[in-house]
Amino acid sequence: MSNNIQSVRGMNDCLPDAADTWQAFEAIVRDWLRRYGYREMRTPILEHTGLFKRAIGEVTDIVEKEMYTFVDELNGESLALRPEGTASSVRAVIQHNLLYDGGKRLWYTGPMFRHERPQKGRYRQFHQVGVEALGFAGPDTDAELIVMCADLWRELDIAPTLQINTLGDYESRQRHRAKLIAYFEAHQDVLDEDAKRRLHSNPLRILDSKNPAMQALADNAPRLMDELDDEALAHFDAVQRLLRASGIAFEINPRLVRGLDYYNRTVFEWVTDQLGAQGTVCAGGRYDGLIGQLGGKPAPAAGFAMGIERLLALVEAGGRPLAVPAPDAYIVHAGEAAERFAWQVAAALRAAGLATVLHCGGGSFKSQMKKADASRARFALIIGDDEAVLLQVTLKPLRGTGEQTRIEVPLVIETLKNATI
Ligand code: ATP
Ligand code: MG
């Protein structure tokens, strides 16, 4: 069968059992965001490549080597499958002038694409839920973004840990950058290929190196913290104060720099050691410069994105079991009058909001009951010609020890709605 067409490497099918879990997760997420006053925004999966180059930065992993880009043969434009959601969100906000009457709290979800080496927790099509608070400058927004994550973790019964850092503002970053370049230049012999390449383009990213041989060098590098001006320090202090007041534990990680260029001031990551190497389940921070950088009227902003695949892996590793909906009823029937009545019963149950599978394809009661069991339904509704004449249904619980009963349709609906099996 080797010449069958398979899915593209690093891109996964979400089969029905998994999709049940995703739906349960999405329902929790939607309600969580509603409770915080965030509203959904949907943007296209394809954007102009230039958007991501400008937003994320030319010298980042994403833009240098992870983007799926192609030339639209009709007009020669370079287009890209979105690798993340913030650039598109900001593009749309500018294009539609959404900030004209003040700040906006927005969220999105959907597939993102990065040409990475596929491994557990790292895929070429993966999914994010992202949250953007646009037009808000204060540390209260940064803290609320973090607190709302903690709230979701509580609901999912998972416990990633929080790392935070501040990247300061443009001037302090420039000062730090100059010191970093001088420091790394003085240690040329220890730099690996990646670091050499980044030395003058993006030296901050060298601090984020995963190469163990570079750890000591990175640990002793000049610290951005030492360059921060009073305003950025006060901002960071206020974030910490608000987190403490909300009972959120955190660790300050001065090496946390994030892989996207648009961040300033507060950055944070939620990490776990339960998923092996791909331990970051959610990451975000402040990006006050991005709206202006993309041509909008400058406005502050902050946000985060979580990786759904990694979060669900963490939930599976010990979080709250996400409810998998099973049908309420599976209707079996034999005989012509029974079939007519079975269709009416199915319609009545569905109108009452009950998930109802109507047996199709005929067969003996015995074979139909096997299908009913396999469907995971809570009840079988059995309809023969006897039942059809009396307009009754035989109701058989498929779980627990309850007895089967023959009752009228309104009572069936009431029983199914109140049953705890
Ligand atoms: P990493 O360091 O793991 O590559 P990143 O810094 O590239 O992460 P972000 O761009 O901040 O990740 O994306 C936010 C979140 O999206 C990550 O924390 C992670 O949970 C998830 N994510 C990112 N890339 C992938 C991927 N290729 N496959 C699955 N999830 C991903
Ligand atoms: Mg990455």
pLDDT, tens only, 333-382: 999 999 999 999 999 999 999 999 999 999 999 999 999 999 999 999 99
| Ligand 1, CB cutoff 6 Å, lining residues | 84, 114, 116, 121-123, 126, 128, 259, 278, 280-283, 305-307, 309-310
Query: What is the model's pLDDT at position 1?
Result: 52
Question: In percent, how much of the chain has pLDDT > 90?
Answer: 81
280, 306, 314: residue to mutate for ligand 1 pocket, most atoms within 8 A of CB: 280
Closest residue CA from atom 29 of ligand 1? 122
Q: Which atom of ligand 1 is nearest to 62's Cα?
A: 7
Q: From ligand 1's centre to the CA of 302, what distance in Å?
A: 17
Helix (H, G, I), strand (E, B) or coil at 12: coil
CA distances from 293 to 52, 105, 305 (A): 12, 20, 20
pLDDT band, very low/low/confident/very high, at 259 (cuts 50, 70, 90): low
- Whether 4 has a pLDDT exceeding 90, the answer reads yes
Quote the CA–CA distance of 421 and 401 in Å, as a whole number.
Answer: 10
Query: What is the model's pLDDT at position 222?
Result: 92
Query: What is the model's pLDDT at position 71?
Result: 98
Query: What is the model's pLDDT at position 170?
Result: 85
Helical ranges in 77-203 per DSSP H: 86-95, 139-156, 170-185, 193-198
Which ligand is closest in space to the CA of residue 82? 1
Query: What is the model's pLDDT at position 209?
Result: 82
- Most distant CA atoms of the chain, gap in Å: 93
Q: Is the separation of the CB atoms in 159 and 249 below 8 Å?
A: no
Helix (H, G, I), strand (E, B) or coil at 81: strand
Lowest mean pLDDT among 127-131, 148-152, 186-190, 379-383: 186-190
pLDDT band, very low/low/confident/very high, at 390 (cuts 50, 70, 90): very high
Q: Where in the chain is the domain with CATH 3.40.50.800?
A: 329-416
Closest residue CA from atom 5 of ligand 1? 259
Q: Which atom of ligand 1 is nearest to 280's Cα?
A: 18
- Whether 104 has a pLDDT exceeding 80, the answer reads yes
Query: What is the model's pLDDT at position 58?
Result: 87
Question: In percent, how much of the chain has pLDDT > 70?
Answer: 99
Query: What is the model's pLDDT at position 202?
Result: 83
Q: Which pairing describes strands 69-71 and 78-81: parallel, antiparallel, or unpaired? A: antiparallel
278, 281, 308: residue to mutate for ligand 1 pocket, most atoms within 8 A of CB: 278
pLDDT digits (tens, 9 = 90+) for 291-338: 999 999 999 999 999 999 999 999 999 989 997 778 999 999 999 999
Mean pLDDT for 48-72 is 94
Q: From ligand 1's centre to the CA of 304, what distance in Å?
A: 11
Query: What is the model's pLDDT at position 2?
Result: 65
Query: What is the model's pLDDT at position 420?
Result: 84
Q: Where in the chain is the domain with CATH 3.30.930.10?
A: 16-169+229-317
Mean pLDDT for 107-113 is 98
CATH of the domain spanning 16-169+229-317, picked from 2.50.20.10, 2.30.42.10, 3.30.70.260, 3.30.930.10: 3.30.930.10
Residue among 317, 285, 321 at smallest CA distance from 302: 285
Quote the CA–CA distance of 29 and 179 in Å, as a whole number.
Answer: 43
Non-local (6+) Cβ contacts of 409 within 8 A are: 345, 348, 391, 392, 393
Query: What is the model's pLDDT at position 258?
Result: 77
Query: What φ, ψ does residue 308 adopt, rounded to 5°?
Result: -65, -40
Burial, 254: exposed, middle or buried (Cβ in 10 Å; 0-12, 13-18, 19+)? middle
Average pLDDT, the chain: 94
104 DSSP β-pair partners: 134
- Whether 421 has a pLDDT exceeding 70, the answer reads yes
The strand order across the sheet containing 46-48 reads 46-48, 78-81, 69-71
Higher per-residue pLDDT: 350 or 57: 350
DSSP structure string for 178-202? HHHHHHHHTTGGG--HHHHHHTTT-
Question: Would the pTM of this model clear 0.75, i.e. be above it?
Answer: yes
The CATH architecture assigned to 329-416 reads 3-Layer(aba) Sandwich (3.40)
pLDDT digits (tens, 9 = 90+) for 72-91: 999 999 999 999 999 999 99
Q: Is the separation of the CB atoms in 415 and 395 below 8 Å?
A: yes
Q: From ligand 2's centre to the CA of 67, what distance in Å?
A: 11
pLDDT digits (tens, 9 = 90+) for 262-290: 889 999 999 999 999 889 999 999 999 99
Instruction: Extract the tokens encoding 242.
Output: 């608000």
